[in-house]
Amino acid sequence: MHHTAKCHTPPSHLLACPKCQADTHSGFEPEQQRCQNCSEHYFDLAGMPCWFDTGIRQHAVWQNLYANMLERGETNLAQSQALLNDKTQLASTQARLHRLCAGNQAMLAALNTLLAGAGLSAIKHAEYADHDASHMLQYYELLLRDWAWPATEALDADSETNHVIGRNTVDENRAELNRIAVALKATGKGLGDTWVIGAGAGRLSVDMHMQLGASHTIALDANLLLITAAHRLVTQNIAWQLPELNSRPQHGFATHHVWSLPYRPWPNYTTPREHLQNWYAMAGNAWQPPLKPGCFDSVVTPWFMDVNGREPAALIAQVQKYLKPGGLWLNTGPLLYSASLNDAQKLSHDEIIELLVLAGFEVVYQNIETSAYLNSPLNAQQRTEQIWTFAAVAPLANATHPVQTHLLPAHPLPTQPPAWVLLPHLPIPINITFNTQGNAVLEQLAAKVDGVNSLNSIAEVMRANLGPEKDALEIVRNAFVEYLLV
């Protein structure tokens, strides 16, 4: 599906079909947004590639979410406006409600401007009726943090109330960039071709690209609002008006403010603006991205490790898959795990470092500090988070870095399984003796161990026979641990 804007497509050497992993030499055609190998078609929004493993169906999903979001917003607005008909209120209450209604109207208009401007239509599709539109707005504050909230500029007064719009706050964007810059400097490496996983509203990826010298940067996110806003402000260079509402009364703070969002580079940028041509906003699935494995010099995971819905071992495998041998992983953010993980999967900092070392990474730098998070100038409340930043170098091809024994427990428990069980993307060593117990199925599993296959790859082969409702990796891993290992 195409629109008038030319698709801002990353270089072909970084791309692959998100569905079948065919690269540009084996059937994937980025310029035509299709794959000859698996016959899947993809689309763009105002020139931003939207390449999910679900193909063109993702467009209908988003149309439906857009329609549901508008419907919900109009319902909420109608409920707010109905309160204005109550004649028993203070005149000052009526004035406050008018301001809140105006803010709600401005927010609905802003979302329409963004999505309609990107070429998306609000159309309901019955097959996606159960999709919750609230998820699109879940990270609305990230748009404000990345592109609106000032740190030092004077804030105006509300002409209706004479209240100050808000307070000066810590510039979270600068602080985050500084954490990454310090970690990068400790490695002595450059960014090169960089993939930012879970780029959100895009500000950190842009600042890194312009300040830290990446050659190409792909900012990938699955959230329609966040990544579309980044594309509009940076690639298209189109301004946007974004309202912020403060519905809880706080003394001296306005009920709402409309921020003006042009993309403003920092004054100390030394890189010419033309370098932004090598920064790409892309919509896609981080676990099945439209990217070619083993081709990135750097992978960055900002505030992603804990919210992606999978345990850290899965992210280690994904990062290692897409890095070049010896490539750099930069991580920053807290460990605020999602409710979908159990307690055993919510690993501590030390446990994650242990897994990194077992995977062959060299941990070059790490730092933990407490910092402001989503502290709006329009809100008297303040939030802080413990932010963990590390830099780790991936193992070289057919070799590993010297094991960092000082980062491993001094006395590991004897019951701890081998690294290839803890990290199922690692190859299973060929020199292991298995007890097949004369069982044909166990013999079949043991026969697949060739020094190259991993639990993941064996599970992928077995998945077709097990059916989609069963966890193939869990079944295969349990078979090795419970029955095959002597």
* The pLDDT value given to residue 387: 97
Question: Any idea how long the chain is?
Answer: 486
* Short-list 204, 137, 181, CA closest to 365: 181
* Predicted confidence band of residue 273 (pLDDT cuts 50, 70, 90): confident
* The pLDDT value given to residue 14: 98
* Predicted confidence band of residue 2 (pLDDT cuts 50, 70, 90): very low
Range with the largest mean pLDDT of 117-131, 321-335, 402-416: 321-335
Q: Residue 225 in contact with residue 191, Cβ under 8 Å?
A: no
Average pLDDT over residues 415-440: 91
Tell the burial category of 227 from Cβ atoms under 10 Å away from its Cβ (0-12, 13-18, 19+). buried
pLDDT higher for 137 or 47?
47
What percent of the chain clears pLDDT 90, i.e. is strictly above it? 66
Q: Residue 363 in contact with residue 340, Cβ under 8 Å?
A: no
What percent of the chain clears pLDDT 70, i.e. is strictly above it? 92
pLDDT higher for 187 or 84?
187
* Predicted confidence band of residue 249 (pLDDT cuts 50, 70, 90): confident
Q: Which residue's structure tokens are 């999967």?
A: 345
Q: Residue 286 in contact with residue 222, Cβ under 8 Å?
A: yes
* Predicted confidence band of residue 349 (pLDDT cuts 50, 70, 90): very high
- pLDDT one-digit tens code per residue, 364-400: 999 999 999 999 888 888 899 999 999 999 999 766 5
Whole-model pTM: value is 0.92
Query: At residue 1, does pLDDT exceed 50?
Result: no
Query: At residue 160, does pLDDT exceed 70?
Result: no
Whether the CA torsion 397, 399, 405, 406 is positive or negative: it is negative
* The pLDDT value given to residue 154: 42
CA pair distance 135, 111, nearest whole angstrom: 14
Q: Which residues pair with 391 in a beta bridge?
A: 330, 365
* Predicted confidence band of residue 156 (pLDDT cuts 50, 70, 90): low
* Short-list 9, 2, 76, CA closest to 42: 2
Phi, psi of 328 (to 5 degrees): -110, 130
**Secondary structure (H, E, C), 326-392:** EEEEEEEECCCCCCCCCHHHCCCHHHHHHHHHHCCCEEEEEEEEEEECCCCCCCCCCCEEEEEEEEE
CA pair distance 440, 418, nearest whole angstrom: 24
Average pLDDT over residues 332-361: 94
> What integer best gives the mean pLDDT of the chain?
90
Whether the CA torsion 461, 467, 473, 475 is positive or negative: it is negative
* Short-list 70, 86, 79, 85, CA closest to 101: 79
* The pLDDT value given to residue 447: 93
Average pLDDT over residues 82-100: 89
* The pLDDT value given to residue 253: 83
> Helices (H), strands (E): how many in the chain?
12, 13
Which 3 state secondary structure label does DSSP give 155?
coil
* The pLDDT value given to residue 413: 64
* Predicted confidence band of residue 414 (pLDDT cuts 50, 70, 90): low
Beta strand pairing status for 296-302 and 193-197?
parallel
CA pair distance 244, 269, nearest whole angstrom: 28
* Predicted confidence band of residue 359 (pLDDT cuts 50, 70, 90): very high
pLDDT higher for 72 or 218?
218
